[in-house]
Amino acid sequence: MEPAAATEFELERLRAQVAALSKDAVLAQLAAGVIHEINTPIASIFSNIDVMERSLEAIEAQLGAGGPPKALALLKMMRNLVQVDRMACQRISGVIRGLKLHARGEEEGLCPAHLNQLVEDSILLVGSEYKRRIAFITDLGDLPPVECNPQLIGQALLNLLVNAAQAIEAEGQVTVRTAVEGDQVLISIADTGTGMTDEVKQKIFHTAFSTKALGVGTGLGLPLTYRIITEQHRGTITFTSELGRGTTFEIRIPITTKEP
Ligand SMILES: Nc1ncnc2c1ncn2[C@@H]1O[C@H](COP(=O)(O)OP(=O)(O)O)[C@@H](O)[C@H]1O
Ligand SMILES: [Mg+2]
């Protein structure tokens, strides 16, 4: 390569790096503000949900099994809604925690957790929105408890599941598989969605890269997931994707992070 061309190329690369860095800094600042603004109301919703749940139980006890059927049915529905609200709040909290991590690179504690349970919870959460057109299939292996941060792994799974579901235009399948592979566990999430072009494949882990409409995509999901898996859990995340056929993401995380 000509020296002049090499310099121009270098400059271009540096410019791109500076642009990415300042984008990161602005995002970090934004995130810190949003985290603060959202955490307080979320805490109050959580505590209201607890009170609501206990109150509904108390009313149900007062009415007893012989209470008016319409009232009992309404109570049952309300209790279900309260549970869905709690899960929704947990999801918001998870996103906030993820943002916090993104903003400050915070380390959080690891503990042994059941990944299959996390997978099932995440599918429950995403499934309720998509179950009419997408079949969620699981093939869960026998896993030992895995040393991880369950909230963060849950967040990563949600990101991948939502992406999988959003990639499917009409009807399709999302298959989640777990297995032990040596001293790691594998979680794979395969969708029968649109797949990605080569250009998209290059950029999916870039902060704020999204091919989705404004309001649908933020482009933060995969960069966050990448950090959660590689930095917080010393794992790996890889993918294969074929246009028109679908995409498979594979996460591998060590069963224990302790040095031998
Ligand atoms: N399962 C998938 N199938 C097809 N494209 C995907 C998939 N997952 C991610 N992508 C692509 O990667 C981009 C970035 O994903 P992400 O970081 O989660 O941001 P967002 O979902 O907010 O757009 C998406 O906009 C999409 O183009
Ligand atoms: Mg996403």
pLDDT in tens, 151-198: 889 889 999 999 999 999 999 999 999 999 999 999 999 999 999 999
* Reported pTM: 0.67
pLDDT in tens, 139-163: 999 999 999 988 889 889 999 999 9
- Please count the CA atoms within 13 angstroms of the CA of 173 that sit on its side-chain side: 7
Going by C-beta distance under 8 Å and a sequence separation of 6 or more, which residues neighbour residue 180?
141, 142, 143, 144, 186, 255
Query: What does the alpha-carbon distance between residue 85 and residue 182 come to, in Å, rounded to a whole number?
Result: 39
Residues 95 and 146 in one domain: no
Q: Which domain holds residue 246?
A: 111-254
> If pLDDT is split at 50, 70 and 90, which confidence band does 96 have?
confident
Residues 178 and 73 in one domain: no
Residue 43 Cα, ligand 2 centroid: separation in angstroms? 25
Minimal-distance CA residue to ligand 1 atom 7? 163
Ligand 1 neighbour 218 (Cβ under 6 A):
yes
For residue 245, what is the domain's CATH number? 3.30.565.10
Minimal-distance CA residue to ligand 1 atom 24? 210
Q: Report if residue 259 sits inside a domain.
A: no
Contact 183, 191 (CB under 8 A): no
Residue 164 Cα, ligand 2 centroid: separation in angstroms? 9
> If pLDDT is split at 50, 70 and 90, which confidence band does 105 have?
very low
pLDDT at 91: 81
Contact 51, 82 (CB under 8 A): no
pLDDT in tens, 30-61: 777 777 788 888 889 989 999 999 999 999 99
Residues 135 and 222 in one domain: yes
pLDDT of residue 238 exceeding 50: yes
Q: Report if residue 260 sits inside a domain.
A: no
Q: Where are the alpha helices (DSSP H) in 64-149?
A: 69-104, 115-130
For residue 48, what is the domain's CATH number? 1.10.287
Residues 11 and 119 in one domain: no
